[in-house]
Amino acid sequence: MTRKGENIYKRKDGRWEGRYIKGRTQNGKIIYGSIYGRTYASVKEQLIHLKAKHLETNERFVPYEGTLKEWLVFWLTVDVKNRVKPTTYSNYVRLAEKHIFSSIGSTPLTKIRSNDLQNFIYELQDKGLSPGSVRNVITLLRKAFCEAHKKGYVTGNLYKTLELPKLKTAEIDVLTIPQQRKLEKVALQELGCSPIILSLYSGIRIGEISGLKWSDIDFESNVIHVRRTISRITNENSIDSKTKLVAGTPKSASSIRKIPLAKNLKKYLMNKKADSSSVYVIGTGSELMEPRAITYKFKKTIKTANLPDFKFHVLRHTFATRCIEKGADIASVSKILGHQSIKMTLDTYTGSLFETRKKAISTVDKLLVNEM
């Protein structure tokens, strides 16, 4: 059993064998070398280091002789993996495997031209990919090509003339107050702490809720500390399990934050903590409830509440919208949500802010009646 393109195989004697390009004969014929190990993961790690060393010392690899897929795998594993968060790396791998490898991945790196990338963009659009997703794929390719250019494996700038799809500002989904009340009524019947109530009244993301521990809640100072997030990422070191759970820091530096704990939510959480045997707010014993399980339970809850299907993230949007509707300033809302900038909050909740602006205009407009 092997993963396509890796040249790693399980031998009849139970060991794993990995093959790599060791050199070339005088007439250019490839000479292969082999390494062996007891596990798939150990052989893969050895192969990566051997390939890295070979690229650094063998001038025959300038220009690069492999395919786009081979370069992406090498670049992601050697250059990117140790510089970004595991979730970011996993997302890059997912984009490459899902969209790039099956399309232009087999093309030699040095043979790719601007028109190939432009046609690739059209192909992604024809598949129904959103403008944002198309841009994410192309951004990944741009970074990979920039690194190849730095190392002298390719020449020229392929991206100057590319036409990327224009980003569209999508309308966010928000629960109406009657819908929110229906959902809360069902959620409040849960025996343990409900992730729905937590999100609706704190704006915490689903991964942050999954990783929230009781020790993160300071009931004396009335503060919720958001310190970690739980994510499911690609498991590269196993051929049996495609994904694995990881606990990491929240989405960005601004996402590591303190959220004020208001009176009613505090009372709700204290009652749930008294009956809890878990170190996690949402969990059992030492085990947490992962985001996938929270989503599954959430889908059952909205069905019980007789509400239309929507994503868990809508609860976070609903929290922010209610804050703005009640007159909270946008800077405070932005800090609570853990956004990197106020602009991001403004761009996301333009609709809610417009309703607030209408109320402000109406308040001033009443002065005209007095004058008339």
| Model confidence pLDDT, tens digit, residues 311-368 | 999 999 999 999 988 888 889 999 999 988 888 888 888 777 777 767 777 777 677 7
Claim to verify: residue 102 and residue 200 sit in the same structural domain: no
Exposed / middle / buried, residue 125 (Cβ in 10 Å: 0-12, 13-18, 19+): middle
**Residue 275: which domain range?**
177-360
Instruction: Please state, in angstroms and rounded to a whole number, the distance separating the CA atoms of residues 204 and 250.
Output: 11
- Write phi, then psi, for 296 (nearest 5 degrees): -60, -45
The one-letter amino acid at 106:
S
User: What is the separation, in whole angstroms, between the first and last Cα of the chain?
Assistant: 84
Tell me, what DSSP letter sits at residue 125?
H
Q: Are strands 217-218 and 30-37 parallel, antiparallel or unpaired?
A: unpaired
Q: Tokens 């150990």 — which residue?
A: 42
**Which residues are CB-neighbours of 204 under 8 A, at least 6 positions away?**
198, 212, 224, 226, 259, 316
Kindly report the number of other CB atoms within 10 A of residue 355's CB atom: 13
Length of the chain: 372
pLDDT bucket at 175, cuts 50 / 70 / 90: very high
Backbone angles phi, psi at 280, to 5 degrees: -95, 145
Which of 168, 195, 230 delimits the end of a domain? 168
Question: Considering 41, 60, 79, which residue would you say is the last residue of a domain?
Answer: 60
pLDDT at res. 320: 92
Residue 126, pLDDT > 80, answer yes
Q: Measured between alpha carbons, how far is 179 from 317 in angstroms, rounded to an integer? A: 14
**42, part of any domain:** yes
SS3 84: coil
Domain count, the chain: 3
* 61 pLDDT tier (thresholds 50, 70, 90): very low
Is the pLDDT at 55 greater than 60? The verdict is no
**Residue 128 vs residues 24, 115, 310: alpha-carbon distances, Å:** 44, 20, 20
pLDDT tier at 247, thresholds 50, 70, 90: confident
Q: Match 């007159």 to its residue by tokens.
A: 327
Note whether 39 and 68 are same-domain residues: no
Query: Contact, 88 vs 46, CB < 8 A?
Result: no
Evaluate if residue 230 carries a pLDDT over 80. yes
Same domain, yes or no, for 135 and 147?
Answer: yes
Beta bridge partners of 67: 108
Residues 70 and 198 in one domain: no
Do 101 and 230 lie in one domain? The reply is no
Q: Are residues 106 and 11 in the same domain?
A: no
Q: Is the distance from CB of 348 to CB of 172 less than 8 angstroms?
A: yes
Listed residues 168, 189, 214: the one ending a domain: 168
Q: Are residues 273 and 239 in the same domain?
A: yes
Helix (H) or strand (E) holding 16: strand 16-24
Question: What's the predicted TM-score (pTM) here?
Answer: 0.73
The verdict on 50 and 74 lying in the same domain is: no
